[in-house]
Structure 1
Amino acid sequence: MQYRILGKTREKVSVLSYGTGGPSQFGQKTGVDDKGRSRLINVALNNGINLFDTAPSYANSEELLGKALKGINRDSYLIATKVSTRNQDLVARRDSIGEFKNPLFPRKSLERSLKKLNVDHIDIFQFHGLANDNYDDIVECFLESIIKAREEGLIKYIGITENLVKEPKHSGMVLALEKHPDIWDTIMLKYGIMNQWAAKNIFPIVQKKDIGILNMAPVRLTLTNNDRLLERFNEWRLNRTDIQGTLEDLKSLNNNNLENSEELISKGYAFAASHDCVSTIITGSSNEKHLKDNIKSANSTIDKEIVKKIIELFGNSDSID
């Protein structure tokens, strides 16, 4: 397993991390039982993965992850979880209801996460789904309680994740990094073949400010779904003259066919890890073989000429999936 430094945290993290979100949600949607989840975690740990990402919004993932990690030396891995900002329209209008009106809402969410994960601290606590239209309110209302929790030793680092569907060009993330680059230890966004926009407006900032990047979902969902690929390329052909790459170009990365996308997925992981700014990429597979394949792909070396070609063809891509 290759390891990289997670920005200013100076933590050494595996180039591939394990996430409990995504379509499978740690096997909750694919029929995996507790024994199967324990095997997945053992595969991850035995192959050097040392960062696990979860969230309260991923059904029972926090509790299930805590159960699967029970008995494992706490110093051997990092846990990243989140507090939801998904009711961003309510928060932004300042007429939210219930807990969202309470500045201590993130603290309450943190305490629930600690209990479900059965740990005494969270390594990376992230504001989840932060966007351009709710950023100022989130910082003003909620940040203070989380900084206090860090001072108490309940968390180590503070991060943010983006709302990719709403902001495929990372406008909220840019706002956060321009306004408060010293607050954020890590950011979570998407960088991959089908969305390379972060190289334009995010990577230059994080290089300067030494912020760690957790790269989420670098191959899902378009690269693994031929119907989505066809839809996306038809959309680009009609509306995006700035994207030179075609479906045939993409096929050339996969032995000129898309019937079996294993080679394309492998290149997708390798490309996602190829940029120096990326600290770790997150996979959420609930299949042991797929997890092992993704570990191999993330640790493989992709030819520089292939990277150059992918950037030339799809460098302006900003797919939401």
Structure 2
Amino acid sequence: MDRTSLGNLKLPSSVMGLGSGGHSRIGQSHGATPEESAAIVGRALELGVNHIDTATGYGTEGIVGAAVRGSGVSRSDLLIASKVSCHKDMVPVPWADYERAVHASLEATGLDYLDIYYVHGLYAEHVGHALETILPGLQGLKEQGLIRAAAISEHFNTDPSHQVLLDVVRTAPELVDVLMVGFNILNQSARRKLLPLCLEHGIGVTCMFAVRNAFSNPAVLARIVRDLIAAGEVDASEVDVDRPLDFVLRQGDAATLTEAAYRFCRWEPGIDVVLSGTGRMEHLEANAACLRRPALPAATTERLRRIFHRVDSVSGQDRPYRKS
């Protein structure tokens, strides 16, 4: 697995990161035992994936910690990320409570430090609180050696145009080291809005939402594209409305849309790491194989960019979200 660095940080990371949240939570959502989920983490490490992402809300910090501690891989060769939101029931939490949550993550993982700590799913209502209180506090924890990077993940389902992250980076780029950004074939808006700012300020970027159910469910994909055409974000003359991405497989060398989606994100300039989550060993192996492959053919990539360049209203996920 290729290695990269996150922005200006001296943190070598695999270009694939194993996510332990999402629908699967490394199998915990589907009845896997902790040992079975830990085996997923262990196999990822064997495949050269040193970047493991977890969160307080996922319920997988302990599993990730046990897996990496028992892996035999040197701690200095690992990049472990966790996160917690800065609100409770939409009410901002004071720094003392947030700091306790960071220490709880350290205790849950059994690690002396975490490489990246994200403000999880930051909402527009809490940007001021994050800028004034939480991010400066995380910078203080960096100085104490408890974390190595202060970060934010966006809530892509409710903010597909990246307004929250744009507000943060335009206001105080010095407070953030890494951003977790939603980006995929359908919504490439980060390319024109956010990634140039991250490159300018040396902010690392981890990519989430590379693959969502629109890429595995043709009916969902067709419905989303029809909606985008109706909204004026996609030109109907550019696509087969019923099979809008079939050309990717006909013209290119990807076996599946999932493979194409991962490769599209992997080779996007400005994206450092692509996150991939699963609870099944065969999916882990397949996803890692996708992210080891070269870029899609240039003509395919350019056509995808042309078709979807105006889209900034969808995440690729086919279900509504509410703030919580």
User: TM-score scaled to structure 1, two decimals?
Assistant: 0.90
Deviation at 1:255, TM superposition (A): 4.4
Q: Distance in 1 between matches of 2:222 and 2:234?
A: 18
Deviation at 1:309, TM superposition (A): 1.1
Q: Distance in 2 between matches of 1:168 and 1:315?
A: 14
Instruction: State whether residues 214 and 279 of structure 1, in contact with CA within 8 Å, keep that contact through their aligned partners in structure 2.
Output: yes
1:42 aligns with 2:34: no
Residue 248 of structure 1 corresponds to which residue in structure 2? Answer: 243
Instruction: State whether residues 272 and 281 of structure 1, in contact with CA within 8 Å, keep that contact through their aligned partners in structure 2.
Output: yes
Deviations along 1:195-252, one digit per CA (max 9) or x if unpaired, are 1010010011011111110001201132122332132122123222545444433122
Deviation at 1:38, TM superposition (A): 2.8
Identity among equivalent positions (%) equals 24
Residue 186 of structure 1 corresponds to which residue in structure 2? Answer: 178
Q: How does 1:10-25 map to 2 (within 5 A)?
A: 10-25=10-25
Instruction: State whether residues 14 and 50 of structure 2, in contact with CA within 8 Å, keep that contact through their aligned partners in structure 1.
Output: yes
Deviation at 1:86, TM superposition (A): 5.3
Q: Distance in 2 between matches of 1:241 and 1:6?
A: 31
Instruction: State whether residues 218 and 243 of structure 2, in contact with CA within 8 Å, keep that contact through their aligned partners in structure 1.
Output: no
Secondary structure of the equivalent of 2:256?
A: helix
Instruction: State whether residues 131 and 173 of structure 1, in contact with CA within 8 Å, keep that contact through their aligned partners in structure 2.
Output: no
Instruction: State whether residues 104 and 145 of structure 1, in contact with CA within 8 Å, keep that contact through their aligned partners in structure 2.
Output: no
1:77 aligns with 2:78: yes
Q: How does 1:83-122 map to 2 (within 5 A)?
A: 83-85=84-86, 87=88, 89-91=90-92, 100=93, 102-122=94-114
Deviations along 1:170-215, one digit per CA (max 9) or x if unpaired, are 0001111101111111000111101101001001101111111000
Q: Distance in 1 between matches of 2:261 and 2:215?
A: 8
Deviation at 1:314, TM superposition (A): 1.6
Q: Distance in 1 between matches of 2:97 and 2:143?
A: 17
Residue 159 of structure 1 corresponds to which residue in structure 2? Answer: 151
Q: Distance in 1 between matches of 2:48 and 2:311?
A: 32
Residue 66 of structure 1 corresponds to which residue in structure 2? Answer: 65
Deviation at 1:143, TM superposition (A): 2.8
RMSD: 1.9
Residue of 292, 308, 314 corresponding to 2:308: 314
Q: Distance in 1 between matches of 2:215 and 2:162?
A: 20
Q: How does 1:283-294 map to 2 (within 5 A)?
A: 283-294=276-287
Deviation at 1:21, TM superposition (A): 0.5
Instruction: State whether residues 25 and 61 of structure 1, in contact with CA within 8 Å, keep that contact through their aligned partners in structure 2.
Output: yes
Question: Which consecutive residues of structure 2, in runs of 5 or more, have no partner in the other structure?
Answer: 318-324
Instruction: State whether residues 106 and 146 of structure 1, in contact with CA within 8 Å, keep that contact through their aligned partners in structure 2.
Output: no
| Letter in structure 1 aligned against 2:64 | L
Secondary structure of the equivalent of 2:125?
A: coil
Deviation at 1:83, TM superposition (A): 1.9
State the number of aligned residues.
307
Q: Distance in 2 between matches of 1:311 and 1:231?
A: 20
Q: Distance in 1 between matches of 2:307 and 2:179?
A: 26
Residue of 260, 269, 291 corresponding to 1:267: 260
Q: Distance in 2 between matches of 1:199 and 1:278?
A: 9
Residue 227 of structure 1 corresponds to which residue in structure 2? Answer: 219
